């Protein structure tokens, strides 16, 4: 819950600040806030992504390209608590090595970094954080030849998977969601229905709430693109399982958000 | 002797429904042996005479407090009871009676309850009963006899509500909202749908059932009037999910979980004024709220601590206190009718079981050993607990007695049963 809220705070804060001037002290503030709330070190990845608004390659004009900083807060606390139940599905597994070292160095570096231009400082903090961890991309610049082509990889029937009782969006999932954001942006009439689901464990009503939180998490990421009015969020809780197997192999397929274009 | 006429409430339902199979899983220890003899039959009422005694015996045998047998004979009067013989047999009490058919659709029913040790008449009564009220009078008499023997009310003259799910051959599912007598007999389907139905809740006056339906491709709360022809009330559209309906004891408002602006909190919806009052305000998930029977407290599930736990809100001082501290997952709690206990879903390792919490002492007792228990609900006398569980990959209902540990199961031959709810006493 905290992580989800924080993700929202971080994403919106950084998004706004990328348009204005100094972001690093806000990032720093949010970063320390994150540490305070969770009570244990978590990895906060700060990365700078450039996505092209237009379909053409390497758009040189500033107007056509939008720069967005996306902060991905990985909830390592949740997954570590539920080790063994953690889903291994491809969309869920993160490449972030969540050691406490990298986290502390991340926060230190962001606090020590002087106020420069927003994008460079955030990428700097990201790079210094990655020095503590093993595999982190410093600056990911996604140059999409065509968002439509890109979406074909995932296709219309896309499903995002989640950890037990979790509704956080990890780095890989964010990339997937951005593909859909681009698709929606290029197809102004497209309407998206996000259907949240849960596995059978726990109570039905709680799972109904949890399923909605999962769909809302996705909507929050898409919300950066001002698409909220075209997105419908619903939850089926544990009522519509994909798999009826009563163990993790089935459960991990059922903790999901389905993207349904209308 | 008083004379009343009991009419059976006719249910306006033409939907097909199947009787659940009742299986006693565990017989209670230290149950009082009693005899409920077949009723004497005057006139052409043979079938109904044996039915009344049988329904009563089954009731007592399911209660966990008694073991009832027929005594293998009909008693016509007190003079025929050999008290000494029954005493040596350790039989505590003897019930006998008479059914007299006085018209095509009317019967007179007499009932007598004797204590075998004191040899005294503990209870007797006479009723005029309509044809359709035979089951009802059997449950009503069971409650009276239970009360006369134990000094506390039974929970027999009550109803259950539950949801059955059948997988259809075309891959769809058929959900059926059903009501039945407390012994799972006389089932009536009051709603069928290919979309999920959740959380049925009897209104305190027994006339309405609130439930969650996905018929409009999202969770919404409806109120069904099972005894009135085709009457359904849909609560207004609220932003986001609407779910977890639960009645105020006065029947005039309903607790709901609403996700206005995405934040799931508890609200009270007044059915008369249609006003919405916010009960909880927290960025986490608050859901599964229900009142104590005096209406002064609300218990609900929240993940505000980072874990899923149970909280109690005192409506007098508006203070919210966490009720559960044992385990990392406690949810869907309900108050016992006397307000002293909570029954809830409690996670033990990887299993979800039913636990009872003493609110004052904070003692938590896990009372089941299943892996996927859900939706506990007390009988109105607090003596029994019904819940949903999984047996061999199939949803069934289980009922346990709080005293004696009696357990029985309600299963569907053709599908799953889930989401049980127990009505208050019928009026």
Q: Does B243 touch chain A (CB under 8 A)?
A: yes
pLDDT at B315 over 70: yes
CA R_g for chain A:
18
Q: Which residues of B touch A2 (CB under 8 A)?
A: 306
Tell me what pLDDT residue B261 has.
Answer: 84
CB contact under 8 A, B240 and A233: yes
Confidence class for position A192, pLDDT limits 50, 70, 90: very high
Model pLDDT for residues B165-214, shown as the tens digit of each residue: 999 999 899 999 999 999 999 999 999 999 999 999 999 999 999 999 99
CA nearest to B352 within chain A: A202
For A239, which of B214, B240, B371 is closest by C-beta distance? Answer: B214
CB contact under 8 A, B304 and A210: no
List of E strands, A198-241: 231-237
Tell me what pLDDT residue B237 has.
Answer: 87
Name the pairing type of β-strands B93-101 and B32-36: parallel
Model pLDDT for residues A67-99, shown as the tens digit of each residue: 333 333 333 333 333 333 433 333 333 333 333
Q: Which residues of B touch A209 (CB under 8 A)?
A: 241, 243, 257, 259, 264, 285, 287
Q: Strand, coil or helix: what is B69?
A: strand
Tell me what pLDDT residue A17 has.
Answer: 42
Calpha distance A218→B106 (Å, rounded)? 64
CA nearest to B329 within chain A: A202
pTM of the shown model: 0.77
Model pLDDT for residues A97-121, shown as the tens digit of each residue: 333 333 333 333 333 333 333 333 3
For residues B142 and B55, the answer to whether their CB atoms sit within 8 Å is yes
Q: Which residues of B touch A203 (CB under 8 A)?
A: 288, 301, 331-332, 345, 374-375
CB contact under 8 A, A209 and B285: yes
pLDDT at A139 over 80: no
For B196, which of A165, A210, A239 is closest by C-beta distance? Answer: A239
Q: Does B303 touch chain A (CB under 8 A)?
A: yes
Tell me what pLDDT residue B46 has.
Answer: 61
CB contact under 8 A, A234 and B332: no
Q: Which residues of A touch B329 (CB under 8 A)?
A: 202
Tell me what pLDDT residue B12 has.
Answer: 57
Q: What is the mean pLDDT of residues B78-83?
A: 88
Exposed / middle / buried, residue B49 (Cβ in 10 Å: 0-12, 13-18, 19+):
buried
Q: Which letter, b or e, does each residue of B318-346 get, where b requires 16 or more Cβ atoms within 10 Å of its Cβ?
A: eebeebbeebebbbbbbbbbeeebbbbbb
Tell me what pLDDT residue B131 has.
Answer: 81
Which residue's entry shows tokens 């075209």? A230
For residues B300 and B244, the answer to whether their CB atoms sit within 8 Å is no
What values do phi and psi take at B59, rounded to 5? Answer: -60, -50
Neighbours of A158 (CB within 10 A): 20
* DSSP code of residue B236: P
Which residues, listed in sequence order, are joined to residue B262 by a DSSP beta bridge?
Answer: none
Calpha distance A33→A44 (Å, rounded)? 11
- Write down how long chain A is: 262
Calculate how close chain B gets to A219, using CA atoms only, in Å.
10
Query: Counting one residue from A and one from B, how many pairs have CB atoms under 8 Å apart?
Result: 94
Provide residues of A within 8 Å CB-CB of chain B. Answer: 1-2, 5, 165, 200-206, 208-210, 212-213, 216, 233-237, 239-240, 244, 246
Confidence class for position B48, pLDDT limits 50, 70, 90: low
Q: Which residues of A touch B306 (CB under 8 A)?
A: 1-2
CB contact under 8 A, B196 and A2: no
Which of A204, A234, A247, A249 should be substituted to probe chain B, the one whose Cβ sees the most B Cβ atoms within 10 Å?
A204
Calculate how close chain B gets to A200, using CA atoms only, in Å.
8
Q: Does B283 touch chain A (CB under 8 A)?
A: yes
Least confident range from A76-90, A169-183, B80-94: namely A76-90
Which residue's entry shows tokens 């085709």? B230
Q: What is the mean pLDDT of residues A241-262?
A: 93
Calculate how close chain B gets to A217, using CA atoms only, in Å.
10
Q: What is the mean pLDDT of residues B229-243?
A: 88
Q: What is the mean pLDDT of residues B292-313?
A: 97
Q: Does B419 touch chain A (CB under 8 A)?
A: yes
Question: What's the whole-number average pLDDT of chain B?
Answer: 91
Calculate how close chain B gets to A5, using CA atoms only, in Å.
8
CB contact under 8 A, A203 and B419: no
Least confident range from A135-149, B64-78, B185-199: namely A135-149
Calpha distance A47→A247 (Å, rounded)? 36
CB contact under 8 A, A205 and B308: no
Q: Does B79 touch chain A (CB under 8 A)?
A: no
Q: Does B331 touch chain A (CB under 8 A)?
A: yes
Calculate how close chain A gets to B148, using CA atoms only, in Å.
38
Confidence class for position B231, pLDDT limits 50, 70, 90: confident
Q: Which residues of A touch B416 (CB under 8 A)?
A: none
Which residue's entry shows tokens 């075998």? B116
Calculate how close chain B gets to A183, using CA atoms only, in Å.
24
User: Long-range contacts of range A19-25, CB-CB < 8 Å, 24 or more positions apart?
Assistant: A20/A118, A21/A117, A21/A118, A22/A115, A22/A118, A23/A69, A23/A118, A23/A121, A23/A122, A24/A110, A24/A113, A24/A114, A24/A115, A24/A116, A24/A118, A24/A121, A24/A122, A24/A125, A25/A115
For residues B275 and B284, the answer to whether their CB atoms sit within 8 Å is no
Confidence class for position B359, pLDDT limits 50, 70, 90: very high
pLDDT at A65 over 80: no
Q: Does B349 touch chain A (CB under 8 A)?
A: no
Tell me what pLDDT residue B340 has.
Answer: 97
Q: Does B218 touch chain A (CB under 8 A)?
A: yes
pLDDT at B229 over 90: no
CB contact under 8 A, B345 and A202: yes
Q: Does B199 touch chain A (CB under 8 A)?
A: yes
Calculate how close chain B gets to A205, using CA atoms only, in Å.
6
């Amino acid at each position: 819950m905290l992580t989800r809220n924080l993700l929202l705070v971080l994403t919106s804060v950084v998004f706004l600040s990328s348009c204005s001037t100094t972001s690093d002290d806000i990032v720093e503030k949010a970063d320390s806030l994150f540490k305070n709330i969770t009570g244990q070190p978590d990895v906060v990845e700060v990365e700078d992504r450039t996505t092209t608004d237009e379909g053409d390659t390497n758009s040189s004009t500033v107007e056509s390209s939008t720069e967005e900083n996306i902060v991905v807060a990985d909830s390592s606390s949740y997954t570590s608590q539920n080790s063994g139940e953690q889903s291994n599905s491809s969309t869920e597994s993160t490449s972030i090595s969540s050691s406490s070292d990298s986290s502390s160095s991340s926060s230190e570096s962001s606090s020590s970094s002087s106020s420069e231009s927003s994008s460079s400082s955030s990428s700097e903090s990201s790079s210094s954080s990655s020095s503590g961890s093993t595999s982190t991309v410093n600056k990911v610049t996604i140059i999409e030849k065509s968002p439509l082509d890109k979406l074909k990889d995932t296709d219309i029937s896309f499903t995002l998977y989640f950890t037990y009782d979790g509704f956080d969006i990890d780095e890989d999932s964010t990339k997937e969601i951005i593909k859909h954001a681009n698709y929606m942006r290029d197809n102004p009439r497209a309407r998206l229905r996000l259907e949240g689901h849960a596995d059978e464990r726990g109570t039905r009503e709680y799972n109904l709430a949890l399923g909605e939180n999962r769909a809302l998490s996705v909507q929050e990421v898409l919300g950066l693109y001002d698409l909220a009015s075209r997105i419908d969020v619903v939850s089926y809780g544990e009522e519509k399982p994909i798999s009826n197997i009563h163990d993790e192999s089935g459960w991990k397929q059922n903790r999901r958000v389905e993207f349904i274009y209308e | 002797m008083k004379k009343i006429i009991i009419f059976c409430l006719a249910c306006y339902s033409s939907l097909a429904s199947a009787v659940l199979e009742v299986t006693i899983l565990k017989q209670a220890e230290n149950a009082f042996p009693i005899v409920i003899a077949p009723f004497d039959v005057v006139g052409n009422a043979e079938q109904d005479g044996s039915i009344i005694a049988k329904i009563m015996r089954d009731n007592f045998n399911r209660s966990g407090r008694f073991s009832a047998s027929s005594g293998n004979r009909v008693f016509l009067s007190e003079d025929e009871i050999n008290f000494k013989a029954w005493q040596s047999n350790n039989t505590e009490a003897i019930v006998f009676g008479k059914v007299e058919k006085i018209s095509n659709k009317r019967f007179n029913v007499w009932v007598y309850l004797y204590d075998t040790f004191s040899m005294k008449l503990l209870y007797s009564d006479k009723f005029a009963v309509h044809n359709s009220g035979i089951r009802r009078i059997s449950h009503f008499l069971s409650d009276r006899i239970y009360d006369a023997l134990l000094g506390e009310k039974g929970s027999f003259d009550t109803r259950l509500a539950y949801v059955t799910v059948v997988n259809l051959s075309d891959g769809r599912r058929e959900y059926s909202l059903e009501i039945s007598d407390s012994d799972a007999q006389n089932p009536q389907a009051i709603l069928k749908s290919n979309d999920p139905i959740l959380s049925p809740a009897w209104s305190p006056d027994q006339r309405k059932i609130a439930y969650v339906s996905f018929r409009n491709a999202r969770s919404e709360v409806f109120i069904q009037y099972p005894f009135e022809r085709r009457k359904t009330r849909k609560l207004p559209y609220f932003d986001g999910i609407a779910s977890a309906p639960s009645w105020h004891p006065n029947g005039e408002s309903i607790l709901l979980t609403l996700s206005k602006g995405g934040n799931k909190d508890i609200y009270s919806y007044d059915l008369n004024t249609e006003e919405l009052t916010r009960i909880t305000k927290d960025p986490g998930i608050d859901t599964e709220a229900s009142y104590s029977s005096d209406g002064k407290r609300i218990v609900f599930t929240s993940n505000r601590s980072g874990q899923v736990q149970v909280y109690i809100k005192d409506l007098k001082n508006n203070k919210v206190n966490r009720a559960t501290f044992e385990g990392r997952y406690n949810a869907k709690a309900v108050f016992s009718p006397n307000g002293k206990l909570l029954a809830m879903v409690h996670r033990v390792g990887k299993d979800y079981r039913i636990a009872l919490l003493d609110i004052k002492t904070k003692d938590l007792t896990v009372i089941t050993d299943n892996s996927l228990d859900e939706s506990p609900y007390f009988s109105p006398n607090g003596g029994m607990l019904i819940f949903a569980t999984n047996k061999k990959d199939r949803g069934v209902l289980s009922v346990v007695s709080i005293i004696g540990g009696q357990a029985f199961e309600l299963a569907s031959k053709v599908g799953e049963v889930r989401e049980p709810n127990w009505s208050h006493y019928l009026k």
